[in-house]
Each structure stands twice: as C-alpha cells, then as structure tokens.
Amino acid sequence: MSLRWSSATDQLYAVSNSSPSLDLDFASNKSLLDNISGFPLVNHQRDASSGKSAGTYVDSDGLIKTSPVNYAINSEQIDLWTPSGGSISANFAESPIGDLTADKWIPDTASSYHYPKLITTLSSASSVTYSIYAKQAGYRYLLINTTDGSSSGNGGPVVDLQDGEVASNYTATYPTTVTDAGNGWWRVAMTFTGNGVNIIVDHNPLPTSTIAAYSGDNTSGVLLWGAQLQEGTTATDYIPTGATISGAPRFDHDPVTGESLGLLIEEERTNYCTGDFNGTLGDGGLQTLPSGVKAPDGSTAAYLLLPGVTRLWFDGLNSVNIGISGKAVLSYYAYSVNNSIILRPNAFNTSYTNVVSDTIPGQWVRIYAVVDLINGVLQYRVTPYNTTIYTQAEYDAGERVYLWGFQVEIGNFPTSYIPTTGSTVTRSPDIASIEGTNFSSWYNSTAGSFYADVKAYGTSTGSSRIIGTDQIATPLYYNTTADTIKSYGNTVGPTVSGLIAFGRHKAGMAYATGDEAISVNGGTVATSAVGFNNTSNTVTAVALFAVTSGSEKTTGHITRLAYYPYRLSDTILQEITS
C-alpha cells in the first residue's frame, strides 16, 4: 500500500522546500491513501443498509456509476462475529494498513473444527465476491468456506499463508486470488454464485493442508482483518464497516471533461420522485435512444418528449404533499439532438428559480430549479404551464428531446443522483474522519499548517466545516452568510472575506502559540493572535467537511488535503494556495 510521494514539481513540496506530514491527494490517487505514510488514514462510512442508496458518482468515462457496498458488517472486529471452538484476542497485531486493529483467532484444545463465523444479510442469486486479509500466527493454512448462501454449498479454498497460494479446495472450486498485502499479510478473494439465502462464511485455521478436525494449543492461530462481501466478480478496494454495511468512498469526475474532482462528501438526501409521467399530456414513453447515444448511466433508454407538449408532470408527484415545507430542488437530465431547448422545471403554485434550464445539443445536461414548497405540496412539471417545449415541425426535421434521472430533494442545491423504483430512497451522509494513531502520527498540537483544495456546493447550516475536529477548535470553516473562510478556537480567528463560498478555493491556515494566519487563493494573508490555537481543548481527531459528530456538514469535493507539522510563513501560505 506504500506511496511515499515527493516531487520537486509538486507545489506543496517545492514551494515549502519540505515535506508535509500528511498529504491526501484524492483527485490524483482516487483513493484514501496518504502519500506520506502510504496508508489509508481516513475512516470513511456511508450507511448503505436495506432501503438506502449505495450512492452514485461520475466515473472517469463520464458515466454515472453505483458505489460498491461492503455487506460484511464489523469488518475489522472479528471479536463481534460468531465464534466456534476458540477465542479472539482483539487488536492483537498491526493490520495491513499499519494500525493496531488486527484480531487473532486462537483455536481451543477440543478436537474439532475451529472458526469464527461471519453472518451477513446479503442474499443473492448472482455472482458475489468475498475477500479478507489473513496472516499466519502459528498456523500456516486457512480454509475459508461458505457454510450457507452459495449455490455450490459448503465449500471454499484452503490457502497457504506462507507461500500465498491455494493449497487445495474443499468440495467446490471457487475462482480465488491471493494477493500479497505486505508484512506477511495476504488478501484472499473468492467469487461464487449465491443461492438466494443469506451468505455465511467460516474461517478455519489448519496446522496442515489436510482438512480435518484437530486439537489446538490455545496459543497458535491466524490473524484476520478487513472482511468484505460485495456483489460482482471483483474485489474492489477495501471498504471498512462498523455496525452497518457501507458504501465505498466516491471519487468523482466532471461528466464532460473527465477531470478528476476528488473525494465527494455529501449530506443526507432523499429522492421523493417515484412516479411516472402522466401519459395523457405528451409523454412519448421510455424509448431506445438513437444509435451512439447512451443515457448518463450508460443504459440505452430514456423518456421521449413528444412535440407540442405544453405541460408535463409526474403522476406520482401531482399535487402531492411530501410532508416537508421549505426549499426543494427539482432536477433531471435532458438531451436534445439538434437545438438548445428551454425546459425550466417548476412546481405548480410555488415560487421557483431556474438555475440550469437549457439543453446543449448532443450532450446530456442536468436541468434543475430551486422551488419554495407551500405546505409541503408539490406538483413537479418539466416545463412551465402552457409553454410549448418544441414543435411538430422541429420533430419532423429530426429534433428529439429525451429525459432521464428525475429527482426531487429537500435543499437549495442538487446532489448526486439517487435512483428510485416505486418508493422514495435515502442516501445517507458521508462521514469521513481521521482518528487515533492515524491522526497523532502526523499532527503537532503546538504549531502546524493545514492546506485544503476544495469546492463546496452547499451547506445545511450558515457555518459549515472545511476541516472540523472533535473539539470546538476548527482549522477552516465557511461562514456562508458572509461569504468568508475563518478559523475558530474559543473565539473567531483570522478571517478572509469577499469570497464566493460555493466555488473552488485553495485555503491555507498556519498556527503557533499566539499566532495564526489564513490565505485563500493566494490572496492577502489575514492574521490574528487568536483562533484555532486559542483553546484549552486538546484536538485528537479531524473530520472532512464536518465536525467529527457529523454535524455542520458541507457538501462538495475535496481535491486535496495536506498538513505540515510546523507553522508555514505567510509568504509560503500565499504561494501554496495561489
């Protein structure tokens, strides 16, 4: 997992003539790996349990993809699984990512099989892939077998944890890979077809490659860490879980240019749009797209708007009370063949502001408007009442207008698409933090400097975090009502004003005792004797676009985040943020 990056051409290294102690280059690496330690220091969670969206993102090919989900809960806490014939020593050894979270499974002295059992709630009749990191700790071999949920029955590979090979297979041969994860660790991944029953996996250490009952010695065993169960035939990057299943972190891209935007962090949102068009008002129905045209997710069908339509709304959202008053965002993706078409989504009997309303010929565009709901009642239309979208003559000349991906969400800015099929769906918030030794390994409480390259799209509060902590002290935050970026301790620290809060900003904050400074986008340095370091509270963790409790959340992209364990000069703050 090692990166250990440095480059004379990288501004964060060349300008300061030194290396930061933390460098999370999300846009370049498209992972949570820290360039300095080589380990994924960020703990990311997004609840993807039953009925919730896994989360979507735009991949480098410009298409909307669904995030992978890890269905194995408590993926690093083997002590919370179901044991049989042995015991767990929790946090016994260093894990593949360098923290003390690997558990040791120790068979007892009874003559039997000895295994911790992972019980999941995933029932699938398609291909699934199970993976886990394992290391010998007295026993060389490990049988990983599916005791339920596999169409092949109770079967799986016996893995040699010394040579990193499949020694044999028990009753069924699953496609299996054994990948060196460093320091004696191996990531074992096996793919099988489910049988529609909840999947259960056992982990049996063996003294020899022979599969047989034996008596343990209450000392020898194996180290286990990082279990993952996911749909499909590939073991993706490891996705940590706690008490709930989790979606993977999303590394987003511009759908037109393909630019890597970094880590996408979003607040919780629900898509209330579950109905279909009212077919009596000009809906051409779900149609196959023209040759060479794909929907935003790569599929080949979208809704066709017929010419001469003057009003078009959803059956499922025709004067429906969605139970919440305030601002809502109406959005969909639109594609026109020949001309720029004005669509202007709106809601009947509400005030609304069209933010993006025109199509671009030959390109999918997300059309959206912000509306003020009246008593929570919404009638979602794709065009103003009695306004023709396009004419029969334009249609006869080859014009077509297609719509896809309809969404209604509470808020004043759109978020990533949340697919629905017949009922509302909620996407849980992204929670991203750095804690424990993953934090203390790079942080200096006496003096230091933060760097953040971010683009925010909106917040749920007037003051929201760029970098938050587990205390009142805040290195960088937005005050969106005043369009400023500030720091905070027991009182407000240096402040940079006159910004467009919801744009892309490169911000740097440096602190020492009685000395603090902020520069944004290479601008004039704001200084203060108080702020982040003016507090008696000891910071032990940081959170991205939130405080560690998950509140005061910002939605947007974090391109890069870095930290220096000393105070950078004002001149260097300006240079690295320019």
Q: What is the pLDDT of residues 209-258, one digit of tens each?
A: 999 999 999 999 999 999 999 999 999 999 999 999 999 999 999 999 99
Return the pLDDT at 13. 87
Please tell me the distance from the alpha carbon of residue 188 to that of residue 94, in angstroms, as a whole number.
Answer: 18
User: What is the average pLDDT value for the chain, to the nearest integer?
Assistant: 89
According to DSSP, the β-strands at 554-564 and 260-265 are antiparallel
Give the mean pLDDT of 51-55.
94
Alpha helices in 183-287 (DSSP H): none
pLDDT higher than threshold 80 for residue 502? no
Tokens for 34, please give them.
Answer: 């820290």
> DSSP secondary-structure letter at 522?
T
According to DSSP, the β-strands at 127-137 and 301-305 are unpaired
Return the pLDDT at 348. 59
Q: What is the pLDDT of residues 452-493, one digit of tens each?
A: 999 998 886 777 899 999 998 899 998 876 689 999 887 888
Return the pLDDT at 469. 93
Q: Is 379 exposed, middle or buried (0-12, 13-18, 19+ CB in 10 A)?
A: middle
pLDDT higher than threshold 90 for residue 53? yes
Provide the residue type at 69 as one letter. Answer: V
Please tell me the distance from the alpha carbon of residue 124 to that of residue 127, in angstroms, as a whole number.
Answer: 8
Give the mean pLDDT of 522-537.
85
Tell me the torsion sign for CA atoms 283, 289, 294, 298: positive
Which residues contact residue 291 at a Cβ distance below 8 angstroms, ignoring those fewer than 6 apart?
A: none
Ranking 71-80, 171-180, 288-297, 545-554 by mean pLDDT, the lowest is 545-554
| pLDDT band at residue 315 under the 50/70/90 scheme | very low
Determine phi and psi for 357, rounding to 5 degrees: -135, -5
Would you say 452 and 476 are in contact if contact means Cβ atoms under 8 Å apart?
Answer: yes
For the stretch 68-81, what's the b/e string if a residue is b when 16 or more beta carbons lie within 10 angstroms of its beta carbon? Answer: bbbbbbbbbbbbbb
Give the mean pLDDT of 494-504.
83
Return the pLDDT at 397. 94
Please tell me the distance from the alpha carbon of residue 383 to that of residue 386, in angstroms, as a whole number.
Answer: 8
Residue 335 β-bridge partners: 402
Angle CA(458)–CA(461)–CA(464) in degrees, nearest 5? 75
Return the pLDDT at 279. 44
Which residues contact residue 163 at a Cβ distance below 8 angstroms, ignoring those fewer than 6 apart?
A: none
Please tell me the distance from the alpha carbon of residue 430 to that of residue 47, in angstroms, as a whole number.
Answer: 8
Tokens for 124, please give them.
Answer: 């699938």
Tokens for 222, please give them.
Answer: 């194996």
Strand locations in 470-567, DSSP E?
Answer: 474-479, 484-488, 492-496, 504-512, 515-520, 526-528, 542-544, 554-564
pLDDT higher than threshold 90 for residue 117? yes
Most confident of 228-242, 276-290, 402-416, 456-470: 228-242
Please tell me the distance from the alpha carbon of residue 44 to that of residue 339, in angstroms, as a whole number.
Answer: 43
Q: What is the pLDDT of residues 362-393, one digit of tens each?
A: 999 998 888 887 766 666 777 655 567 788 89
* Residue with token string 């049996």: 204
pLDDT higher than threshold 60 for residue 317? no
Which residues contact residue 256 at a Cβ distance below 8 angstroms, ignoring those fewer than 6 apart?
A: 62, 363
Give the mean pLDDT of 421-445.
94
pLDDT higher than threshold 50 for residue 278? no
Return the pLDDT at 3. 44
Task: Provide the residue count of the chain.
Answer: 578
Which residues contact residue 299 at a Cβ distance below 8 angstroms, ignoring those fewer than 6 apart?
A: none
Q: What is the pLDDT of residues 98-109, one digit of tens each?
A: 899 999 999 999
